[in-house]
């Protein structure tokens, strides 16, 4: 187990390094610079600014400086808002984005699994058809379309919920709903088909022959096995939810990390782009690692470590 | 005479499919006495397993349903019990062992957990007591190091070991009736013999009645007290082991016995039964074996034969038993 974790950790660092390098060079390929604006600046001032941020140095030198900032975890001040460091931006934005993300994942998982299980138990009944119709709609509608529709209907027309910002639980409802519907639909469909297959297994018949209650048969015997494919897809879904937060945060004017990320790119605010990208990728890679660990807990046949002996 | 523990009377079970109604079981009559082993034999698809599942109330409904008849366990008609009451009988009074031990155990739960959960569902026992009882059961079925094995998962056991665990699981609540649906089919021959010996041992120690469903006559010859031969959803002949093996009456029973190699048989060829069992979507009128029967008469395809009682234990459904057919039978058999 320990060797596995250490090995995975090394892979994780390599992955983040590759992402960071690609980001750096791609970022420098984008035309324009932070000081390239419509109003003309004094050439001397421009040069001074560039020198201050090492933008006049050769790319190789900038790259080394950039790697140094990653290793020391200090991305320096933002170029556009010089009074703020990137670390401070991340520190402010991350808790909000994390809150949005965690609620989304929780709601998508719980409602998706519940919907899938009910659909499977009521296979080919009205409940099944209804659940799967919801699921197909959820998969088909992009989250930004759903988000604007929700704002239009629930916030503007009916005035039930606030349309934007992030200051109370009521403010969270619409963004979380918009972001969670897609993953929920995918999880529901997957759980349903996996559950249907599991319910035909012999060990379910064995469990019934023991006289266990339906609840025990479904939760203890069927669900644990049926959730394996859901765990497999969680990695991809997490990546989807993460990129989804960029759009959703923008639409709902949520002051999370996604907002800084998008603004950073638009304004060529190099330290902000670098900081957010490295942070996002490190976070995602770590989540994928957690998903792999979760496997081992669900299915004893999957061994995370290599140990000789009985099989 | 010993008491009847199970009486199946005129049982009809059908499955509704897109293609129509499949009449899997068409009027089965079976009795089981306390402490005996009854073997139910027949080809695939003759209704053996469906009959067994119906005793447990495990017919998937829909598509299956019991159309007619009764299953009385110790006098109580089980076809009329509620789901909840049925759950109290399953695994407690009647247990079932399934064919394939490789898939009958849940791969994600420990063996100990699966052994004790039935006990903990039905009896008021602490985890410790349940564990102790499970260890006793594992000892009974011959699994070494039971304490350690309890914490392991099914994938850490071989096929034979898993079948022992399945048997231990079925016996842990001390049932009065054990239904074994082809318990040795998926095992290799040496393990088969061990498992059959285990059945024998368990029956001697616990006095449990066993219904053994199989198509393997070798298994039947070893363990059965009485034998019921099923064909196309009906029981065509019942008798003691001796009666079935030495005085088989029904042409189908004879056919089954002829298609199995015997040690005292020198140089003779095995004679298979030609053809296949009838389609149960539209079972033929009369005796379903007519089309494959070497001794078929005109009456066979028209009217199902009445049951002829040859001895207290031996009954057969065949027109050849009728006085009027004796002459015909003699010409066929010579």
Task: Please report, in tens digits, the pLDDT of each residue of chain B (334 residues total).
Answer: 578 888 898 889 888 888 888 888 888 888 898 889 999 998 888 888 888 888 888 887 778 888 888 888 888 888 888 888 888 888 888 999 888 888 889 988 899 999 898 888 888 888 888 888 889 888 888 888 888 898 899 988 988 888 889 988 888 888 889 998 888 877 788 888 888 888 888 888 888 999 999 888 888 888 889 999 998 888 999 999 989 888 888 888 888 888 887 777 777 777 788 878 888 787 888 888 888 888 888 888 888 888 888 888 898 888 888 777 776 666 665 4
Residue B142 DSSP one-character state: T
Of the candidates B58, B91, B156, which has its C-beta nearest A310's C-beta?
B156
CB–CB contact A202 B103 (8 Å): yes
Distance set, CA B272 to CA A12, A152, A230, B317 (Å): 65, 76, 50, 21
Contact criterion met (CB < 8 Å) for B58 and A208: yes
Alpha helices in B180-295 (DSSP H): 189-206, 217-223, 241-246, 251-258
Q: Which of residues 221-260 of A touch B (CB under 8 A)?
A: 221, 224-225
pLDDT for position B333 = 54
By DSSP bridging, strand B209-214 and strand B177-181 are: parallel
Domain total of chain A: 1
Determine the 3-state secondary structure of A200 from DSSP.
Answer: coil
**Segments making up each domain of chain B, as ranges:** 4-93+177-333, 102-174
**pLDDT confidence of A113, banded at 50, 70, 90?**
very high
In chain B, residues with a C-beta closer than 8 Å to the C-beta of A300 are 107-108, 110, 153, 155
Q: Do B87 and A212 touch (CB under 8 A)?
A: yes
Residue in B closest to A198 by C-alpha? B106
Within a 13 Å sphere around the CA of A45, how many CA atoms are in the beta-carbon half? 5
Please report the pLDDT score of residue B160 as a whole number: 84
Q: What is the mean pLDDT of residues A62-76?
A: 84
The pLDDT value recorded for residue B101 is 83
For residue A203, being part of any structural domain is answered with yes
What pLDDT, on a 0 to 100 scale, did the predictor assign at position A260? 86
Q: Do B107 and A202 touch (CB under 8 A)?
A: no
Task: Tell me the residue length of chain A.
Answer: 311
Q: Determine if the peptide bond prior to B210 is cis (ω within 30°).
A: no
Structure tokens that stand for A246 in this block: 């960029």
The domain in which residue A178 lies consists of 93-256+290-298
User: B186 to chain A, minimum CA–CA distance in Å?
Assistant: 14
CATH number where A214 lies: 1.10.3720.10
Q: Could you give phi then psi for residue B7, rounded to 5 degrees?
A: -130, 115
Q: What is the C-alpha to C-alpha distance for residues A277 and B285, in angstroms, rounded to an integer?
A: 77
Mutate to test the interface with B, among A210, A219, A222, A298 (most CBs of B within 10 A): A210
Tell whether domain B4-93+177-333 is in CATH 3.30.1180.10.
no
Chain A nearest CA to B122, separation (Å): 8
Chain B interface includes A210 (CB < 8 A)? yes
Q: Residues A45-71, buried b or exposed e (16+ Cβ, 10 A)?
A: eeeebeeebebeeeeeebbeebeebbe
Q: What is the pLDDT of residues B123-149, one digit of tens each?
A: 888 888 888 888 988 888 888 888 889
Q: How far, in Å, CA of B334 to CA of B325, rounded?
A: 15
Report chain A residues whose CB lies below 8 A from the CB of B87: 211-213
Q: Which chain B residues are within 8 Å of A224, Cβ to Cβ?
A: 108-109
Out of A207, A211, A225, whose CB is closest to B108? A225
Residue A123 has pLDDT above 50, yes or no: yes
Q: Check if the beta carbon of residue A188 is closer than 8 Å to that of residue A135.
A: yes
In A, minimum Cα distance to B173 occurs at A210
**Partner residue facing A211 (CB), from B87, B98, B155:** B87
Average pLDDT in chain A: 85
Note the helical H segments in A152-201: 169-199
DSSP secondary structure of A205-274: HHHHHTT--HHHIIIIIIIHHHTHHHHHHHHHHHHHHHHHHHHHHHHTT--SHHHHHHHHHHTT-HHHHH
CB of A216 within 8 Å of a chain B CB? The answer is yes
Mean pLDDT value of segment A263-286: 87
């Amino acid at each position: 187990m320990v060797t596995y974790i250490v090995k995975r950790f090394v892979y994780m660092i390599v992955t983040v390094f590759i992402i960071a390098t690609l980001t750096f060079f791609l970022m420098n390929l984008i035309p324009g610079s932070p000081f390239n604006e419509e109003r003309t600046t004094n050439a001397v001032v421009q040069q001074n600014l560039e020198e201050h941020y090492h933008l006049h140095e050769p790319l190789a030198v900038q790259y080394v400086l950039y790697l140094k900032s990653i290793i020391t975890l200090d991305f320096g001040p933002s170029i556009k808002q010089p009074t703020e460091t990137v670390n401070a931006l991340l520190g402010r934005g991350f808790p909000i984005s994390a809150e949005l993300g965690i609620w989304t994942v929780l709601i998508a998982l719980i409602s998706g699994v519940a919907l899938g299980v009910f659909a499977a138990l009521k296979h080919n009944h009205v409940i099944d058809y209804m659940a799967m119709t919801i699921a197909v709609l959820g998969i088909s509608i992009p989250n930004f379309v759903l988000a604007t529709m929700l704002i239009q209907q629930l916030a503007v027309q009916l005035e039930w919920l606030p349309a934007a910002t992030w200051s109370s639980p009521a403010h969270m409802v619409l963004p979380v709903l918009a972001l969670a519907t897609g993953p929920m639909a995918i999880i529901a469909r997957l759980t349903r088909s996996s559950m249907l297959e599991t319910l035909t297994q012999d060990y379910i018949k064995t469990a019934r022959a023991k006289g266990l209650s339906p609840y025990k048969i479904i939760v203890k015997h069927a669900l644990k096995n049926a959730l394996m494919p859901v765990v497999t897809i969680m990695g991809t879904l997490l990546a989807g939810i993460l990129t989804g937060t960029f759009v959703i945060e923008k639409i709902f004017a949520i002051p999370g990390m996604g907002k800084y990320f998008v603004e950073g790119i638009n304004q060529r605010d190099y330290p902000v782009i670098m900081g957010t990208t490295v942070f996002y990728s490190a976070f995602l890679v770590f989540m994928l690692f957690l998903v792999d660990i979760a496997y081992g807990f669900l299915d004893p046949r999957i061994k995370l470590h290599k140990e000789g002996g009985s099989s | 005479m010993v008491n009847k523990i199970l009486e199946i009377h005129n049982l009809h079970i059908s499955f509704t499919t897109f293609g129509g109604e499949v009449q899997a079981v068409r009027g089965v009559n079976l009795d089981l006495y306390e402490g005996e082993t009854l073997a139910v034999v027949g080809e695939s698809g003759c209704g053996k397993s469906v009959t067994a599942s119906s005793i447990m109330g495990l017919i998937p409904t829909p598509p299956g349903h019991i159309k007619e008849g009764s299953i009385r366990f110790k006098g109580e008609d089980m076809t009329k019990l509620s789901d909840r009451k049925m759950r109290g009988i399953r695994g407690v009074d009647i247990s079932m062992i399934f064919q394939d031990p490789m898939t009958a155990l849940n791969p994600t739960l420990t063996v100990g957990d699966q052994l004790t959960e039935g006990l903990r569902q039905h009896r008021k026992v602490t985890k410790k007591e349940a564990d102790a009882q499970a260890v006793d059961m594992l000892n009974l079925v011959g699994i070494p190091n039971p304490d350690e094995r309890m914490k392991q998962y099914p994938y850490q056991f071989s096929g034979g070991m898993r079948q022992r665990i399945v048997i231990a699981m079925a016996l842990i609540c001390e049932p009065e009736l054990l239904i074994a649906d082809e318990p040795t089919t998926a095992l290799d021959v040496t393990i088969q013999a061990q498992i059959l010996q285990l059945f024998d041992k368990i029956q001697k120690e616990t006095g449990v009645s066993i219904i053994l469903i199989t198509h393997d006559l070798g298994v039947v010859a070893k363990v059965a007290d009485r034998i019921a031969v099923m064909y196309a959803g009906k029981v065509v002949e019942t008798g003691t082991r001796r009666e079935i093996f030495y005085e088989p009456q029904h042409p189908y029973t004879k056919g089954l016995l002829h298609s199995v190699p015997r040690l005292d048989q020198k140089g003779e060829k095995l004679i298979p039964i030609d053809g296949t069992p009838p389609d149960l979507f539209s079972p033929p009128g009369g005796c379903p074996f007519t089309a494959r029967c070497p001794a078929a008469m005109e009456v066979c395809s028209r009217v199902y034969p009445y049951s002829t009682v040859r001895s207290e234990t031996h009954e057969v459904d065949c027109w050849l038993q009728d006085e009027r057919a004796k002459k015909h039978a003699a010409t066929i058999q010579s």
